[in-house]
């Protein structure tokens, strides 16, 4: 900074720090400081720098005053209407940024904000006073050419409020209707649109697969593996050598199976169960991926960058190349594989009384599917009379013991208060051109529950072991819900005669003290089968925080356990891969001071980045599902369906159909009255009639409109009291469709 600039800043700071100073606008300051008109742009720049440095702040009326410590740093979240929000790490509630106070910030920018004076009854507001780092350099959208030959890109991301101007010479030959990736060259100002250049043409908006590809590019999901990574994967041998087995527990004679969905290809977990008459012996055997993905190799760096595999409606974007995930790292039937095994002893009460963690070599007897195991456990005669199932006769007794053990483990979790939200989740089937042909539920059954119970047991055991060893580690944590949200839930359910207790208290209301997960579990049990079940279950879920990865073991609220981690999926989650390295270093006696210091140095960023990539993957998966649901419902416009009110807002009610499709009935389309939103009861109420619409209410709707661009579906109400009709669960053609969801 030059001396002249320093002097200007000192003059302004001295002025605003003077006890007699009265806040002034920029023009008033210019007059007071006798700044010539030709120098006023420089004054504006100096004031902007002082705002960014946190030495000045602005009043609600745009007057400069001394900063009072209210300068904060956060991430700007845009909105199509021009205003935005800023998320501050560690703060539960974000800050509202009015449209005229965004300071040119773009969605995902890292910004500094100055708090504005609080107004009674309103959320905290702030204005952007500095942009520290741009969060987006590329935008995906639809190209439109103007009559003057220049073009503009309409962003797919609804959080971007401005179109991107593209000069003709930078359009790369794009024509109207092309989906493109545009690189931002100028972020614009309050008065001037941002500019960019087209760097990739994805195809025409109506071309098959372009819609999903646009989402992939929009979330910057890495698809193609770098050549160096592919070469490294191809060099990995596809069979294990005897030398690889040295020093490992030989479990090749132990009966074990993989149980997955029919279309699964990366089989990274196998299970074994025996019973000695007193105790169960549970083995969870996980592919030893780290044997082939060495730390800091090209494969490892790419896996860390991706963080997780992404499961979109029409494709999987894997964390590791298929040569590994579907090859040597997949626990295929009848072949030797390297694994990490967690061998647990469980008593008849479902308590893990002993365990061992070891490197192993295994050989899976059979590759089973959830549906096969379910059918056998439902009809034990299949293994005697059905040609398809006779081959599993030898393994059938193990499946029976698995069911017994699963029930014990689940009951044990239930006793301690583990929460089980069971909302419908779907699978969308596509034809050859990517058009949705059917929406059907994922089936949750005895087999899926068994595998879930065994994986949870292994994850808890591993986490507890390393916690008490005081080793650097990556935990999976789920924080206690925010007290204010729980208080709102408590107040709401009190209207229905329910209550929850906070920890250490017996009163009918929760306080600022923590709530135990068992109270949520009890509440869900009480409302089961009642008209208000769906409403209260959804509100309880919305009061929860999101799980994340952390180097601190703060517990998992939803599972009601003190120690938890992700150990069981190293093919598709980087934290699991990292945990395997820590386990092997500890087992092999390599966890000295140097190694401990190494892990302490890298694990905080691994946990943070893994949480971020998980959020990105979740959002992309939701967006592709929403897109295909809208496309599916386009062929059902004007048809009527039974549904349930799944959301209530000031602008209308959201209705979910049995096939998980959700649409909005705008408040203006509700019948025969003027309606208003009662926030305290989470209801929409008719002013004259008193008719109410609330969560969980059964309604009947007509499909009015579908908007692929905004990924929205509009319903209108036809009959608000009709429940689901029995016997019509064979698809949407009859107005209903199956529903279910795996947690």
CATH number at residue 176: 2.40.50.700
Q: What angle do CA 382, 375, 566 make, to 5 degrees?
A: 135
Domain end: 497, 513, 544, which one? 544
In the structure encoding, which two tokens stand for residue 428, read together? 């969308």
The alpha-carbon radius of gyration of the chain (Å, integer) is 29
Residues 367 and 390 in one domain: yes
- Determine the structural domain holding residue 716 and report its residue range: 637-734
Residue 524 lies in a domain: yes
Q: Does 159 fall in a domain?
A: yes
Structure tokens at 646: 């799944």
- Our CA dihedral for 167, 170, 173, 178, rounded to 10 degrees, sits at -80
The CA–CA distances, whole Å, from 103 to 190, 194, 591 equal 8, 13, 50
Contact 533, 527 (CB under 8 A): yes
Question: Which residues does 605 contact at the CB level (< 8 Å), separation at least 6?
Answer: none
In the structure encoding, which two tokens stand for residue 560, read together?
């009601």
Residue 244 shares a structural domain with residue 315: yes
Residue 211's SS3 state is helix
* 651 backbone dihedrals φ, ψ, rounded to 5°: -105, 0
Together in a domain, 514 and 659: no
Going by C-beta distance under 8 Å and a sequence separation of 6 or more, which residues neighbour residue 148?
none
Q: Are 466 and 511 within one domain?
A: no
What the block records as the tokens of 707 is 């908007």
Q: Are 503 and 517 in contact (CB under 8 A)?
A: no
Would you say residue 509 lies in a domain?
A: yes
Phi, psi of 155 (to 5 degrees): -60, 140
Determine the 3-state secondary structure of 111 from DSSP. strand
Q: How many domains does the chain have?
A: 5
Beta carbons of 30 and 43 less than 8 angstroms apart: yes
Phi/psi class of residue 203: alpha, beta or left (left: φ > 0; alpha: ψ in -120 to 50)?
Answer: left
Show the beta-strand stretches assigned E in 79-177.
84-87, 95-97, 110-115, 126-133, 138-145, 151-155, 164-166
Q: Quick one: 427 and 523 in the same domain?
A: no
* pLDDT tens per residue across span 319-328: 999 999 989 9
pLDDT in tens, 164-189: 999 999 999 999 999 999 999 998 87
574 is a domain residue: yes
Distance (Å, rounded) from C-alpha 610 to C-alpha 570? 13
Structure tokens at 306: 């991706």
307: Cβ contacts below 8 Å, ≥ 6 apart: 319, 573, 574, 609, 610, 612, 613, 614, 616, 617
What lies within 8 Å, CB to CB, of 77 at 6+ separation is 84, 85, 86, 87, 94, 107, 108, 159
189 and 244 in a single domain? The answer is no
**Do the Cβ atoms of 294 and 320 come closer than 8 Å?**
no
600's enclosing H/E stretch is helix 593-633
pLDDT of residue 422: 67
CA 722 – CA 698 distance, rounded (Å): 6
Tokens of 12: 């302004």
Judge whether 122 lies within some domain: no
SS (H, E, C) 488-526: HHHHHHHCCCCCCCECCCCCCCCCCCCECHHHHHHHHHH
Using H for helix, E for strand and C for coil, what is the string for 401-436?
A: HHHHHHHHHHHHHHHHCCCCCCCCCEEEEECCCCCE
Residues 20 and 40 in one domain: yes
Report the C-alpha gap between 644 and 217 in whole angstroms.
Answer: 34
Whether 13 and 50 have beta carbons less than 8 Å apart is answered as: yes
Q: How buried is 79 (Cβ within 10 angstroms: 0-12 exposed, 13-18 middle, 19+ buried)?
A: middle
Do residues 397 and 283 share a domain?
A: yes
* Tokens 């049995």, located at residue: 658
- Is 79 among the domain residues? no
Q: What is the predicted pLDDT for the residue at 719? A: 65
Residues 200 and 342 in one domain: no
Distance CA 114, CA 105 (A): 14
Task: Count the residues in the chain.
Answer: 743
* Same domain, residue pair 310 and 400: yes
Cβ–Cβ < 8 Å for 283, 254? yes
Number of neighbouring beta carbons within 10 Å of residue 442:
15
Check whether residue 146 and residue 9 sit in a common domain: no
pLDDT of residue 311: 93
State in Å, rounded, how far the first CA of the chain is from the last one: 56
Residue 677, classified by CB atoms within 10 Å of its CB into exposed (0-12), middle (13-18) or buried (19+), is middle
**CA–CA dist 92, 87 (Å, integer):** 9
Bridge-partner residues for 539, per DSSP?
none
The CATH number of whichever domain residue 28 belongs to comes to 1.10.10.10
Of 667, 666, 657, 669, residue with least CA distance to 629: 657
Q: Of 44, 68, 92, which residue sits at a domain end? A: 68
As a whole number of angstroms, the distance between CA 87 and CA 74 comes to: 5
Q: What's the rounded Cα separation, in Å, for the pair 60 and 51?
A: 14
Task: Please give the structure tokens belonging to residue 24.
Answer: 């002034």
CA distances from 702 to 226, 386, 486, 699, 711 (A): 49, 46, 35, 10, 18
In a domain, 216, yes or no: no
Torsion of CA 317, 321, 327, 333, to 10 degrees: -20
User: Does residue 162 fall inside a structural domain?
Assistant: yes
The parts of the chain modelled with pLDDT lower than 70 are: 1-2, 60, 68-70, 119-122, 190, 422-424, 502-514, 531, 534-535, 719-743
Q: Are residues 718 and 642 in the same domain?
A: yes
| Residue 176 φ then ψ, to 5° | -55, 135
| CA 384 vs CA 274, 331, 393, 394, 398: distances in Å | 22, 28, 7, 11, 16
* Per-residue burial over 680-701, b = 16 or more CB atoms within 10 Å of its CB, e = otherwise: eebbbbbeeeeeebbbbbbbbb
| DSSP string across 645-691 | EEEEETTEEEEE-TTS-EEEEEGGGSTTS-EEEETTTTEEEETTT--
**Which of 489, 512, 544 is a domain's end point?**
544
**CATH code, domain carrying 659:** 2.40.50.140
Closest CA to 591 of 235, 600, 655: 600
Prediction pTM value: 0.83
- Torsion angle defined by CA atoms of residues 141, 145, 150 and 156, in that order, rounded to the nearest 10 degrees: -10
């Amino acid at each position: 900074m030059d001396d002249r600039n320093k002097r200007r800043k000192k003059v302004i700071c001295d002025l605003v720090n003077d006890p007699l100073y009265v806040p002034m606008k920029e023009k008033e300051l210019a007059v007071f400081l006798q700044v010539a008109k030709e120098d006023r742009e420089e004054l504006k720049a100096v004031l902007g720098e002082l705002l960014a440095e946190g030495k000045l702040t602005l009043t609600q009326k745009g007057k400069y005053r001394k900063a009072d410590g209210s300068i904060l740093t956060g991430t700007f979240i845009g909105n199509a209407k021009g205003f935005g929000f800023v998320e501050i790490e560690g703060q539960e509630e974000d800050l509202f940024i009015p449209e005229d106070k965004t300071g040119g910030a773009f969605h995902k920018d890292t910004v500094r904000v100055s708090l504005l004076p609080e107004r009674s009854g309103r959320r905290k507001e702030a204005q952007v006073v500095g942009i520290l780092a741009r969060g987006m350099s590329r935008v995906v959208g639809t190209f439109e050419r103007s009559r003057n030959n220049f073009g503009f890109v309409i962003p797919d991301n609804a959080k971007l409020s401005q179109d991107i101007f593209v000069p003709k010479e930078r359009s790369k030959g794009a024509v109207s209707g092309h989906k493109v990736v545009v690189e931002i060259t100028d972020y614009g100002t309050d008065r001037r649109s941002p500019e960019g250049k087209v760097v990739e043409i994805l195809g025409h908006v109506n071309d098959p697969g372009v819609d999903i590809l646009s989402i992939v590019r929009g979330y910057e999901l890495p698809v193609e593996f770098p050549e160096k990574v592919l070469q490294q994967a191809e060099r990995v041998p596809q069979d294990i050598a005897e030398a690889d087995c040295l020093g490992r527990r030989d479990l090749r004679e132990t009966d074990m199976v993989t149980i997955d969905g029919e279309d699964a290809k990366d089989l990274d977990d196998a299970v074994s169960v025996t019973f000695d008459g007193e105790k169960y012996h549970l083995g969870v055997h996980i592919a030893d991926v780290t044997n082939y993905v060495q730390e800091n190799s090209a494969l490892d760096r790419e896996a860390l960058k991706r963080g997780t595999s992404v499961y979109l409606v029409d494709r999987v974007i894997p964390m590791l190349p298929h040569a590994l995930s579907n090859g040597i790292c997949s626990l295929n039937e009848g072949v030797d594989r390297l694994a990490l095994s967690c061998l647990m002893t469980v008593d008849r009460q479902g308590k893990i009384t002993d365990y061992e963690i070891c490197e192993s070599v295994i050989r899976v007897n059979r590759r089973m599917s959830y549906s096969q195991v379910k059918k056998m456990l439902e009809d034990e005669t299949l293994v005697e009379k059905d040609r398809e199932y006779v081959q599993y006769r030898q393994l059938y007794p193990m499946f029976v013991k698995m069911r017994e053990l699963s029930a014990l483990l689940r009951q044990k979790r239930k006793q301690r208060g583990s929460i089980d939200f069971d909302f419908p989740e779907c699978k969308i089937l596509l034809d050859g051109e990517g058009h949705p042909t059917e929406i059907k539920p994922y089936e949750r059954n005895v087999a899926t529950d068994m595998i879930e119970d065994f994986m949870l047991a292994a994850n808890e055991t591993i986490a507890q072991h390393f916690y008490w060893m005081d080793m650097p580690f990556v935990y999976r944590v789920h924080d206690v819900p925010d007290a204010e949200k729980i208080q709102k839930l408590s107040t709401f359910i009190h209207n229905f005669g329910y209550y929850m207790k906070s920890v250490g208290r017996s009163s009918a209301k929760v306080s600022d003290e923590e709530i135990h997960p068992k109270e949520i579990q009890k509440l869900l049990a009480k409302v089961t089968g009642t008209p208000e079940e769906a409403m209260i279950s959804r509100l309880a879920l919305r009061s929860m925080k999101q799980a994340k990865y952390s180097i601190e073991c703060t517990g998992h609220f939803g599972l009601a356990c003190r120690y938890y981690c992700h150990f069981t999926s190293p093919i598709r989650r980087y934290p699991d891969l990292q945990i395997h390295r820590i386990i092997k270093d500890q087992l092999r006696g390599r966890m000295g001071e140097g190694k401990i210091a190494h892990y302490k140095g890298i694990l905080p960023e691994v946990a943070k980045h893994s949480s971020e990539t998980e959020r990105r993957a979740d959002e992309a998966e939701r967006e592709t599902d929403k897109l295909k649901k809208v496309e599916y419902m386009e062929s059902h416009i004007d048809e009527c369906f039974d549904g349930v009110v799944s959301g209530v807002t000031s602008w209308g009610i959201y209705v979910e159909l049995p096939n998980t499709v959700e649409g909005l009935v705008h408040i203006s389309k509700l019948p025969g009255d003027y309606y208003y939103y009662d926030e305290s009861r989470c209801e929409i109420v008719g002013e004259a009639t008193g008719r109410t619409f609330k969560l969980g209410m059964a309604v009947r709707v007509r499909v009015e409109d579908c908007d692929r661009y905004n990924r929205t579906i509009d319903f209108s109400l036809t009959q608000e009291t009709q429940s689901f009709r029995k016997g019509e669960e064979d698809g949407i053609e009859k107005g209903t469709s199956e529903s279910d969801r795996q947690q």
